[in-house]
Structure 1
Amino acid sequence: MSRRWLSLGMLATTAFSASGALLMTAGCEAEAVSPPDPRIVAFATIPPIAEFARSIAGEFAEVETLIPEGQSPHTFAPTPREITRFSQADAYFALAVGHEPALRAKAAAINPHMRVFDVLIGVSLLDGEPHSHGHTHAPDVLEVGDPHAWLDPQRAKQIAANIASGLSEIDPAHAADYRRKLARLHERLDALDADLRERLRPFAGRTILVFHPAYSYFADAYDLRQLPVEVEGKPPTARQLGALASRVRSEGIRVLFYRPQMDERIASTLATQLGVRPVAWNPLAVNYEQELRAATDAITESFESVSP
């Protein structure tokens, strides 16, 4: 073989080796592990609490919901993957509803360092004194008879303040940011409360008909009375339904509010029997402000259609 062809062969071999090295280097770079996400991983029990947390945390935390929108806290069963993800949380803003205490206990057993914050601290509850339980590493959030306090925007402000306090405790470097965003959220909640109060003031003392008594805090905030169809958590008997129908007629009630987590056919059948219109009102909606305004629309329209 001539010296010329030998030199070309050596050059080709060298070039091929260099190309391979470059490809291997590029491949290694492509497979390089991304730097860890510096954000806090936080969970909240239900969508409206998670939405408050997102408004306060902003870009400094990834906030997820334990019980997704559309699911009932009383029937929700997470997958093993969801339990694993929950157990990776740095912080958990807890509300003891449905099966939540058992789920929280599982996560705490996997990750005992997860900080648990009871969001009802300092909230004036309808079934007792202001909630005074603290936060802890252990899974012992106090259970209350009716936890739906967020349906009153003023009580929701205290829930939001508890979230901001928890975020500041585990991430003090951004405490000023959390306080600033909390102030903006409080302004929104005050504006929402003022609007609802103005619209509902003419109907003080009137009755709203609900399938499940989940709206006590809303009724308390705006001087309304809540009349549940359920009797001790069960559908009414024929006799109870007859008495309820008489009251509905005498008070001119036109709407039955029900949670969308229940079977719509049951709500529709009951509404027909009572001579009212079924309207879904989701107390667990992620679009908190929109849902309260929509419910207020339905309430005011029904009250305006008939004299008490």
Structure 2
Amino acid sequence: MNVRRLIPTAALAGAVALGATALTACSGAATGAGGSKDGKVGVTASFYPMAFLAEQIGKDHVKVGSLTKPGVEPHDLEITPKQTAQLGESDVVLYLKSLQPAVDKAVAQSGVKNVVDAATLTELEVHGSAGHDHGAEEAHAGGEGHDHDHEGGKDPHVWLDPVKYAEIAKGVGAALEKADPDHAADYKKNTDELVGKLTALDTEFKDGLQNTASKTFITTHSAFGYLAERYGLDQEAIAGVDPESEPSPARMKELQGLAKQENVSTVFFETLASDKTARTLAADTGLKTDVLDPLEGITDKSQGADYFEVMRSNLKNLQKALGAK
């Protein structure tokens, strides 16, 4: 039961990279990364998961720039003409087509030779609702009912599944090898190391969520369809249009019943949006609230400094909420 918070389709945006160099690149105004005079490969990543891959695989051989400042909801990104020009100076562009129209348009206009669309590196899936259309429900309740899906109704949140993220990592590594063949051996080595860490993370999730009192979790942002499917869980989202919108009375009543039936203890909210909706439902149902981070960006409010730390915080919060044994 994977119902999505509805947001405009388009390409992913928002990068926060690791390390001092990356933090410098990502601070202040969002920017692209052109080829640098020191011989490093200029990589422009559209949002945090893409930047993380570039930093982890490219390491000292790359200079990573960001299209979205830390703390900005990636789906709200607007790209300036200056950023579009900077994008055109990049050696490699990493993005996820059709999550954000602004990025799609800029990439199409950039003329960059090495463009990597993460959506082509793994199989995207449809994570529909359980027999009802919350988009239509929200539209009826006064919302716009936008579709928070990739092209063809497919869920774009592949980075929250360590297995699929590893598949994307392999594709990014291959792209960097092609763009900078002189350092191909290093990119391959770094890719293998990262895939190994993601495989270990997958095992942690598998073991940590194998025995739980409940399999259902409620969240404001239905970004966790791949994660839920991978580990045998059931995701239920509160509302449609955005995480700050009020759910319809019918949906609220439905979730109240579900919480009792499925032994749900916690309503999750995310770090880059208001927790108002989650707290409203929690207050009405006597449930707790906690954070489940969709990892679209890292800020000082994030429960960890990088992808792995935040994912392990998500695991810990899920284990607590679901009554892991």
- CA shift digits 1:222-276 (9 cap, x unpaired): 1101111124766421122112111112222111122222223333223222322
2:67 alignment counterpart? 66
Does the residue aligned with 2:236 lie in a helix, a strand or coil? Answer: strand
Q: Find the aligned partners of 2:260 and 2:38 in 1 and give their Cα distance.
A: 59
1:260 alignment counterpart? 271
2:103 alignment counterpart? 103
1:19 alignment counterpart? none
State the 1:208 CA deviation: 1.1
Establish whether residue 172 from structure 1 lines up as the match of residue 181 from structure 2.
yes
What is the identity percentage for the equivalent residue pairs of Structure 1 and Structure 2?
Answer: 26
1:198 alignment counterpart? 207
TM-score (norm 2): 0.72
2:47 alignment counterpart? 46
- Corresponding residue to 2:289 among 260, 278, 288: 278
Structure 2 CA distance for partners of 1:156 and 1:106, relative to 1, 3 Å: closer
More helix by share: 1
1:6 alignment counterpart? none
Asked if the contact 1:45–1:67 (Cα under 8 Å) also holds between the matched residues in 2, the reply is yes
- CA shift digits 1:55-92 (9 cap, x unpaired): 10011111122233322222122445444433321111
Q: Find the aligned partners of 2:246 and 2:99 in 1 and give their Cα distance.
A: 19
Establish whether residue 299 from structure 1 lines up as the match of residue 298 from structure 2.
no
State the 1:204 CA deviation: 8.6
Q: Find the aligned partners of 1:73 and 1:285 in 2 and give their Cα distance.
A: 8
Could you tell me which runs of 5 or more consecutive residues in structure 1 were left unpaired when the two chains were aligned: 1-34, 129-141
Q: Find the aligned partners of 1:209 and 1:80 in 2 and give their Cα distance.
A: 40
Establish whether residue 236 from structure 1 lines up as the match of residue 237 from structure 2.
no
Q: Give the counterpart letter for 2:272 in structure 1.
A: Q
Q: Give the counterpart letter for 2:237 in structure 1.
A: P
TM-score (norm 1): 0.76
Establish whether residue 117 from structure 1 lines up as the match of residue 99 from structure 2.
no
Q: Find the aligned partners of 1:93 and 1:199 in 2 and give their Cα distance.
A: 32
- Corresponding residue to 2:308 among 274, 289, 307: 289
Q: Find the aligned partners of 2:73 and 2:309 in 1 and give their Cα distance.
A: 20
Q: Find the aligned partners of 1:254 and 1:90 in 2 and give their Cα distance.
A: 48
Q: Give the counterpart letter for 2:120 in structure 1.
A: I
CA RMSD of aligned residues (A): 2.5
Asked if the contact 1:55–1:181 (Cα under 8 Å) also holds between the matched residues in 2, the reply is yes
Asked if the contact 2:213–2:323 (Cα under 8 Å) also holds between the matched residues in 1, the reply is no
Q: Tell me which moved more, 282-291 or 74-83.
A: 74-83
Q: Give the counterpart letter for 1:96 in structure 2.
A: K
Could you tell me which runs of 5 or more consecutive residues in structure 2 were left unpaired when the two chains were aligned: 1-35, 128-149, 299-305
2:222 alignment counterpart? 213
Q: Find the aligned partners of 1:208 and 1:62 in 2 and give their Cα distance.
A: 39
- The structure whose Rg is larger is 1
- CA shift digits 1:186-215 (9 cap, x unpaired): 111111111111111113971011112110
Q: Find the aligned partners of 2:165 and 2:213 in 1 and give their Cα distance.
A: 21
Q: Find the aligned partners of 1:46 and 1:185 in 2 and give their Cα distance.
A: 18
Asked if the contact 1:205–1:225 (Cα under 8 Å) also holds between the matched residues in 2, the reply is no
